[in-house]
Structure formats: C-alpha cells, structure tokens
C-alpha cells in the first residue's frame, strides 16, 4: 500500500487530502517517528502523544503564515517531518543535522526557538499583538504541556493575554497530571458546541441584548454565564484569566480535533482561547505506554522489543555519585533536603526520594520557586540541596542573587550537566554557571575534575553553613576511580598540585583535567615537563598557590568548561592586581568560545571548542613561541 506520508513534503500537501484520510496519515507519521528515533535516539514519548494534534493543526491552519509554537519543543519531531524536513529527519541531534528542538534558522515553520519550558504563551502573545498592530489576520497558536503550566511564566503570560484581548489560541496538551476528568461523550459534545459559530454568536447576541438593561442585571448575567460554563467545562481558572475555555477534548480523535480547530479558526471571537486536549504520552507504542517515563528520552532502541542500547561503562555516572553520596549524608543528618524542578530522575533525586520521600521535593518546572523555597528552608536550619541542570538554573538567577547570595543563606546548588552536553545542543549546554555564580559575593564555587572530587565537594558543602555554595559536574560517567568516604572534606579555597614541572603551568578548573594530563604526555615526549594544578575552587581562589606558580613559571594557562568571564577572568584579575604581569608572565585563558555551539557528540564539541588535549598542546606551543606578554613596557 502506498503511504500517504510519502506524498507529503509540506503542510500544503497535507491540506490537499480529505479529512477522512487524516487518520491514516497519523498512523503512518507515528510509525515513522518510532522508526526514526530508534536510529537517532532522542525524545520519543512526547512526540508520540501529539501526532494527531500535529496533523490536525497543520491541516486546519495555514502554516507558516499562521504561527505555530511548541512549548519546550521536544515534541516537535512529527512537526518537522511534515514541514519540509522529512528527508533530513534521520540527522536529528547529530553534528550538522537537525536540532532536537524548534529552531528559527532551520525552518520558516519554526517561528520561535525553544528548549526550555513555559515560553510559548509569552512568545505567541508577542506575535499576536504584532499581528494586531500590523492588521495581519493570520492566527497564532501555542501548544503547551500540563507540566509546563507549573511555571509562573505561563501564568504571567496568560494574565497579560487576558487583559490585552488579542486573538491567541493556546492548546493545553494535558498528558500526565490528570487536570481534568476523563473525556466522555458529553464532554465531546459540549466542547464541539462551545467552539461552534452558533455559541460564539449567541454569546455576543446575549451581551448585546442585556447591555440595554441595568448594570446590575448585566453584572449578574455575566456571572451566571461564567458559573455555568465553569460547572459545565471545568475551565473556571482559565476563564478567570480571561481565556475562552474549550474542553476537555480527546487529543487523539483526529476528526474531532479538526472540527474544534476549524470552529475556533472561523470564529470572530476577539481575545485568547484555550483548548484543553487530553493526550497520552507514548501513545501507540506499547513499550513507551508501559514505561514509567513513557520513553521521554531514549537512546537508540530495537523497535520490536523496545530494548534500548545503553553504553557500558565500569565507571559510575556523576549523577548517581551525587545521589548516593547525598543519601549517605542524609542517613546521618535529618536536616538534609533534596529539591529539584521536574527532573527527579535526571538529577538522581529519584533515588533520594525512595529513601527519604518526606525530605524530597519536586516543585515542578519552577526553578525560581525552587531556589527561594530552598532559601526559606535554610532560615529554619535545614540543609537543602537544589539539584538543577546548569542551563535551567539560569532561569532563577535573580532568586540566586536576591534571595540567596544577598542574605548569605547556605543553599547548596548541585549543578548537573555542566559543560557541553552533546545531542541536546546549545540550549542545554552548561556554559555560563561559573561566570554567573563566581561574580556573586558570599558564594563558594567548586567544579569536580572527577567523581572522587565530586564526593569531596558534596562533603565540603555540608560543612558550609554561613553562605551559599555550588559544585558543578558534567553529564555522563566518571573516570573509574575509587571514591572517598563522606568524611573526606576539602579546605575551602585550597587547590591541588597534581604534578610539578618547569616553565609551563596549567591551572585546570573542572572536568578537563584528564585532557590536561593527556596534553602533558604529548609534551613530555617533546622534552617539555609541565606543572598541572586542579584549582577545585573558582571562588575563593587559592591565591597563595596561584601566586607561587605565576612567579615561578614563564607560562600560565587556565582551562575551564565555561564561558568567557569565569574562572580564568578571576585568575587574571588576581594576577593583575598583584602586578605579576609587570614581570612578563605569559598568561592565557582557555574557555568555551564566545558562540553557541550546535549539537554533536561531546568529544567533537570539545574539539570544536578548542578544549581537547591537542588544543591544549597547541596553545602551550603557541604561547611559548609568542613574544606577547602582559608587561607594562612591552613594545613587541
């Protein structure tokens, strides 16, 4: 049988089909999605849940003139297949291939790039207002998940949308939290009725009639309508925010979806509309449906069995080392609390929760709240560990500054996914936390060079009770060394001399230490013996050791998996203030480049970033041969 999907390159091809053919398109799209992700890995469950919704949206609306924005956008693979990227879809998340998220530079069908949650309503409201100002009649649609609705930003946008009364369509993709009762025949009938032209017209007619009566009667009539609709549809919250609520509807009944979307598109309603669709994450693929996480994120897998290909390593993951070390401390200290923002398994706190369910708090996608919640706990003598990915912690920077650092509250930040993360690309890279944390007064900032150092940093953070602290560690596995016990504590601000050489010194901060050692081996064969220091702390710096190295070596190079303005900048500031550059020290700082690096394997990304051992060797040789020094009177 010829696949209908083979005839669809763009949504305009989809719109040539009869509505009776859409169910087949959805089935073929689902099969294609499963086959693709089995080869590429990536986000599967969310995409499976929106197959029918994706088909219906592109069938009804005139994309890309009508703007369609996916919140987080990890569910956008079906969207990409239908919007001109079908032939490239197997390059997903690979170097030089398609992004795993929507990306403005990739397609005109991606009007807004997203990979962090809860931005869709704000961005589409901006688009809707712009269209209104330009007298553009095209529609704007946001698709947001129920998990994303836990973030305050979504409600800020909805509150603003209700006040502005711009035409905006928001689809609440409810696939997990059971916000509404199960969909039934009566709900289906009511949602169809409430979205129809007749009901829209009737509402406006009633308003016109009662406007001639007293204000008191108008007020009562309006309340009666709101109460009735709230009882009938369960949409009271959204109605109170100024949205016209439709639902709940079955997000997998494609014929019903098309009818609802056509009704909404054709209506003359001025103001925001919310369509509440119930979907099933992992829909249509039994291994995903049966899995606890619905195959949210997967590696390559066997389509027939669902068995995922897992890389084997004798070394533990950094995430598990963090979780297991924290559990050991929590067994002895009842004041230790675990906090995460909708990432219990990603941060390892699901393991902590099994042991201490009453001391583990998943606050949802609400990093700002997580940080200030942790700050509140510390004021009562508790020891909260906020385990948040580096890229997501960016969202709570004001809270870190105002609610934690300014008050010198001892919140402990466990910063997972520090550095480059591979296939998820620039949106998920942990590039900036060194810079944005080390600039703050009252902060201790650490970075683990291996899993043993991570244990020591967790141990150390337990002892810091008068100020905030943070320790960062990369995604993936450690190097396979013996772990210390939980009593092995670092001296605050004390670096570690790894090896001693002459003339050249590498000052490493974080997980590039093994690359420094490889560079040393290469240089040793050339007769160059170098000093290596593991800084451990970006704040406070080990000023004594750094000064000793700077005054006894010709070349000093700092290395970090972070952006410009971080560890290397703090070292340079110290050396400048102490006048070391006046004596002709050749100082260089190796950081992530001042650009957003596209997805690839982490190894290839670090090569591109110039932080591989070969790049370190090259930097050392260039610096040795250079006449450029930071000397006051240097004329070269």
pLDDT tens-digit profile of 346-360? 999 999 999 999 999
Mean pLDDT of 600-620: 97
Domain 318-472 adopts which CATH fold?
Answer: Rossmann fold (3.40.50)
* pLDDT value, residue 190: 53
pLDDT band at 182 (very low <50, low <70, confident <90, very high): very low
Q: Does the pLDDT at position 481 exceed 50?
A: yes
Same CATH fold, 496-624 and 5-289? yes
Mean pLDDT of 77-95: 97
Active site residue 395: yes
* pLDDT value, residue 197: 64
Torsion of CA 358, 363, 369, 374, to 10 degrees: 30
* pLDDT value, residue 193: 59
Identify the weakest region by mean pLDDT among 187-191, 486-490, 538-542, 592-596. 187-191
pLDDT band at 179 (very low <50, low <70, confident <90, very high): very low
Mean pLDDT of 179-202: 57
| Better-predicted residue by pLDDT, 226 or 98 | 98
| Better-predicted residue by pLDDT, 36 or 631 | 36
Mean pLDDT of 451-470: 98
Helix axes 51-60, 254-266, angle to 10 degrees: 40
Q: Which percentage of the chain shows pLDDT scores above 90?
A: 82
Active site residue 7: no
- For tokens 């092995």, the residue is 488
Q: Does the pLDDT at position 452 exceed 60?
A: yes
* pLDDT value, residue 211: 53
pLDDT band at 184 (very low <50, low <70, confident <90, very high): low
Active site residue 262: no
- For tokens 């890279």, the residue is 429
Mean pLDDT of 101-125: 96
pTM beyond cutoff 0.85: yes
496-624: CATH number: 3.40.50.920
pLDDT tens digit sequence for 540-596: 999 999 999 999 999 999 999 999 999 999 999 999 999 998 888 999 999 999 999
Tell me the domain boundaries of the chain: 5-289, 318-472, 496-624
Q: In the sheet that 496-499 helps form, which strands lie side by side, from edge to edge?
A: 496-499, 531-534, 504-509, 555-560, 586-590
pLDDT band at 176 (very low <50, low <70, confident <90, very high): low
* pLDDT value, residue 587: 97
* pLDDT value, residue 247: 85
Q: Does the pLDDT at position 221 exceed 80?
A: no
Identify the weakest region by mean pLDDT among 202-211, 299-308, 511-520. 202-211
Identify the weakest region by mean pLDDT among 134-138, 140-144, 219-223, 274-278. 219-223
Q: Does the pLDDT at position 636 exceed 50?
A: no
* Residues found in the chain: 636
Do the beta carbons of residue 66 and residue 317 sit within 8 Å? no
636 token code pair: 């070269």
Catalytic residue among 85, 229, 281, 283, which? 281
* pLDDT value, residue 311: 73
Catalytic residue among 395, 475, 512, 619, which? 395
* Chain center to CA of 609: 21
- For tokens 């991606």, the residue is 110
Q: Does the pLDDT at position 233 exceed 50?
A: no
Output the CA–CA distances (angstroms, integers) from residue 107 to 5, 98, 102, 113, 600, in the order listed.
Answer: 19, 10, 8, 10, 20
pLDDT band at 235 (very low <50, low <70, confident <90, very high): low
Query: Under CATH, domain 5-289 is a member of which superfamily?
Result: Thiamin diphosphate (ThDP)-binding fold, Pyr/PP domains (3.40.50.970)
Four-residue CA torsion sign, 88, 80, 365, 178 = negative
Do the beta carbons of residue 396 and residue 72 sit within 8 Å? no
Mean pLDDT of 385-413: 98
| Better-predicted residue by pLDDT, 493 or 182 | 493
* pLDDT value, residue 627: 74
Q: Does the pLDDT at position 178 exceed 80?
A: no
Q: What is the DSSP letter of 316?
A: P
Catalytic residue among 28, 367, 451, 560, which? 367
Instruction: Indicate the average pLDDT of the chain.
Output: 91
Mean pLDDT of 229-258: 81
Alpha helices in 283-425 (DSSP H): 286-290, 318-332, 344-347, 349-355, 367-379, 390-393, 397-399
Output the CA–CA distances (angstroms, integers) from residue 573 to 437, 474, 543, 546, 570, in the order listed.
Answer: 16, 26, 11, 12, 5
Cα–Cα–Cα angle for 153, 157, 159, rounded to 5 degrees: 115
Mean pLDDT of 494-519: 97
Identify the weakest region by mean pLDDT among 310-319, 323-332, 417-426, 574-583. 310-319
* pLDDT value, residue 159: 94
Mean pLDDT of 18-27: 97
């Amino acid at each position: 049988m010829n696949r209908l999907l083979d005839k669809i390159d763009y949504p305009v091809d989809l719109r040539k089909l009869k509505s009776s053919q859409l169910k087949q398109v959805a089935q073929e799209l689902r099969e294609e999605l499963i086959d693709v992700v089995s080869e590429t890995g990536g986000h599967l469950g969310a995409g499976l849940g929106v197959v029918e919704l994706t088909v219906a949206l592109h069938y009804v609306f005139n994309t890309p003139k009508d703007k369609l924005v996916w919140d987080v956008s990890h569910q956008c693979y079906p969207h990409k297949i239908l919007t001109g990227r079908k032939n490239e879809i197997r390059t997903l998340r690979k170097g030089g291939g398609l992004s795993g998220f929507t990306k403005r530079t990739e397609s005109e069908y991606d009007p807004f790039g997203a990979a962090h949650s809860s931005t869709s309503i704000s961005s589409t409201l901006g688009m809707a207002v712009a269209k209104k100002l330009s007298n553009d009649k095209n529609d704007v649609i946001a698709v947001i998940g129920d998990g994303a609705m836990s973030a305050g930003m979504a409600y800020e946008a909805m509150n603003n949308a209700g006040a502005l009364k711009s035409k905006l369509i928001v689809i609440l993709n409810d696939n997990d939290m059971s916000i509404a009762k199960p969909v039934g025949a009566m709900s289906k009938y009511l949602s169809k009725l409430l979205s129809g032209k007749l009901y829209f017209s009737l509402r406006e007619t009633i308003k016109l009639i009662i406007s001639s009566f007293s204000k008191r009667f108008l007020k009562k009539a309006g309340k009666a309508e709101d109460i009735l609709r709230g009882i009938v549809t369960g949409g009271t919250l959204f109605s109170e925010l100024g949205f016209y609520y439709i639902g709940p509807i079955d997000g997998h009944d494609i014929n019903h979806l098309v009818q609802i979307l056509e009704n909404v598109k054709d209506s003359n309603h001025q103001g925001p509309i919310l369509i509440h669709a119930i979907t099933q994450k992992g829909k249509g693929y039994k291994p995903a449906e049966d899995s606890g996480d619905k195959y949210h994120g997967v590696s390559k897998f066997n389509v027939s069995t669902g068995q995922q290909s897992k890389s084997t390593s004798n070394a533990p993951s950094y995430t598990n080392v963090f979780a297991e070390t924290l559990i050991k401390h929590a067994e002895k200290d009842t004041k230790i609390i675990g906090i995460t923002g909708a990432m219990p398994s990603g941060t390892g706190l699901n393991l902590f929760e099994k042991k201490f369910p009453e001391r583990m708090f998943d606050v949802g996608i609400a990093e700002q709240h997580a940080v200030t919640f942790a700050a509140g706990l510390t004021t009562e003598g508790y020891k909260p560990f906020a385990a948040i990915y580096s890229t997501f912690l960016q969202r709570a920077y004001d809270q870190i500054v105002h609610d934690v650092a300014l008050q010198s509250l001892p919140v402990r930040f466990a910063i997972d996914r520090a550095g480059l993360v591979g296939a998820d690309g620039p949106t998920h890279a942990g590039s900036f936390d060194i810079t944005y944390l080390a600039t703050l007064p009252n902060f201790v900032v650490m970075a683990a060079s291996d899993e043993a150092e991570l244990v020591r940093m967790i141990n150390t953070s337990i002892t810091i009770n008068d100020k905030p602290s943070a320790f960062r560690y990369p995604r993936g596995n450690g190097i396979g060394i013996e772990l210390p016990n939980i009593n092995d504590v670092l001296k605050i601000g004390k670096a570690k001399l790894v090896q001693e050489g002459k003339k050249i010194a590498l000052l490493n901060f974080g997980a590039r230490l093994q690359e420094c050692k490889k560079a040393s081996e290469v240089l040793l064969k050339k007769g160059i013996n170098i000093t290596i220091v593991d800084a451990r702390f970006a704040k406070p710096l080990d000023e004594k050791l750094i000064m000793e190295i700077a005054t006894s070596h010709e070349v000093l190079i700092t290395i970090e998996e972070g952006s410009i303005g971080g560890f290397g900048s703090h070292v340079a500031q110290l050396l400048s203030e102490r006048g070391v550059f006046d004596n002709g020290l050749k100082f260089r700082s190796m950081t992530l480049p001042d650009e957003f690096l596209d997805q690839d394997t982490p190894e290839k990304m670090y090569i591109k970033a110039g932080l591989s051992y070969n790049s370190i060797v090259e930097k050392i040789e260039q610096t040795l041969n250079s006449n450029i020094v930071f000397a006051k009177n240097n004329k070269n």
